[in-house]
Amino acid sequence: MPAYLDNAATTPMRPEAVEAMLPYLTERFGNPSGSHAVSREARKALDDARDTVAQCLGARPAEVVFTGGGTEADNLAILGAAAVRPGPTVCTAIEHHAVLHACDALGDNRLVPVDEAGVVDLDALADRLDPSVSVVSVMLANNEVGTIQPLAEVVRLVGELAPEARLHTDAVQAFQWLDLASLGAGADLVAVSAHKFGGPKGVGALVVRRDVKVQPIIHGGGQEHDRRSGTHNVAGIVAMAAAMRATVDERDTTVSRVSALRDRLADGLLAAVPGSLETGGRGSKIAGNCHLSFEGVESEELLVLLDAVGVYASAGSACASGAVDPSHVLAAMGMSRARALGSLRLSLGTGTTDADVDLALAAIPAAVERLRAG
């Protein structure tokens, strides 16, 4: 059996989500915006899904805007809030490109540095905040190195120094592992994406708090209270809600089981491979993330060898794959080019087993040795 260790790129769908969505791909095909019985059935499913999603995110149902994934949710948060109140944006240097490029598109973005563990520099953040700032974006957990950001501190600083600014958090990688209902509570805008926690691709949500306005970035029929037009992806939304419910119900057990697997994997590799280093502090990262670098090895070559023996991993963020330069995240953490190019992300998920870890522990040291031997 191969070992799928790329859950930060995407997760397999949970059976609960597949089962929940199937009727909405077949007999319950209605458009929820209509008024007859077929539409009403779809509308009911949408309303129920909204209640579930709201509850899992610690929001009110009316605060949930369904989107076509995490990228769209990030764009709606940043472009939508900045359109209501223009001004400079502020974001960390390790945001996903969905945030970084949306901020860049607005033309006046202030980047906040991070330390060598990938944690935002709060003094530097304070320096970049002033009353003119429109949107501040700080991700809850990073997609490459898994570091969790001190969001409560960020909420406090923004409240003090840029009280009119809207605070957005990209919680796309966080939802699987962290309780957003409490951790995301201080943010005005919170983005999630279903395919990172056992839901389908191409569906996500943005929490837009009651007193927060966003201008739509997609115009049309006025769905989602005029915040996101387009016929709802009913099947996808129903599946996302089912995946969310199961994720929240099982989260505590998943986190303890997966962090034990991750620790065995990371400790085993560090012991077996001379010249290996772990990225970031293990105590302050999400349970599924194992990020290591191997001296004298190019991770692109390592991935090819691992692929051939059924160990599926990633050299950096999946969205940036193909790039030969070190990722912007590792560069922002001050990692040397050589070390960054030799780094491997192994991301565990709800389906990861002891056998996956055993396979990775056998395959990775052998592959590294082979590459070093030339």
For position 199 contacting ligand PLP by CB under 6 A, the verdict is no
Total H helices, total E strands in the chain: 13, 12
Window 112 to 171, contacts with ligand PLP (CB under 6 A):
139, 143, 170
For position 173 contacting ligand PLP by CB under 6 A, the verdict is yes
> Whole-number minimum distance, CB 354 to ligand PLP, in Å?
26
Site size toward ligand PLP (CB under 6 A) is: 15
CB 191 within 8 A of CB 138: no
Cα atoms in the 13 Å half-sphere on the side-chain side of 78: 31
Q: How far is CA 121 from the centre of its chain?
A: 20
- Sole window of 53-61, 66-74, 110-118, 328-336 interacting with ligand PLP (rule: CB under 6 A): 66-74
Residue 172 phi, psi (nearest 5): -60, -40
Give the residue with the Cβ less far from ligand PLP, 204 or 349: 204
DSSP per residue over 54-68, as a string?
HHHHT--GGGEEEES
- Sole window of 25-33, 70-78, 233-241, 336-344 interacting with ligand PLP (rule: CB under 6 A): 70-78
Annotated catalytic residue within 56, 91, 103, 319:
319
For the CA atoms of the chain, what is the radius of gyration? 21
Which of 122, 104, 189 shows the shortest CA–CA distance to 161? 122
Give the residue with the Cβ less far from ligand PLP, 79 or 139: 139
Residues 69, 200, 216, 349: which binds ligand PLP (CB under 6 A)?
69
Q: Which residues pair with 312 in a beta bridge?
A: 4
Contact string (CB under 6 A) for ligand PLP, positions 204-243, x = contact:
x---------------------------------------
For position 319 contacting ligand PLP by CB under 6 A, the verdict is yes
> Whole-number minimum distance, CB 126 to ligand PLP, in Å?
24
Q: Which stretches within the chain are classed as H helix?
A: 15-25, 37-57, 70-84, 97-106, 122-128, 151-161, 180-183, 223-226, 234-272, 299-308, 328-332, 337-341, 354-372
Residues 193, 247, 279, 347: which binds ligand PLP (CB under 6 A)?
193
DSSP 8-state code for residue 191: E
Give the residue with the Cβ less far from ligand PLP, 185 or 319: 319
Give the residue with the Cβ less far from ligand PLP, 95 or 356: 95
Note if 319 is an active site residue: yes
Residue 135 phi, psi (nearest 5): -135, 135
Give the residue with the Cβ less far from ligand PLP, 139 or 261: 139
List residues near ligand PLP by CB under 6 A.
69-71, 74, 96, 98, 139, 143, 170, 172-173, 193, 195, 204, 319
Please identify every residue annotated as catalytic.
319
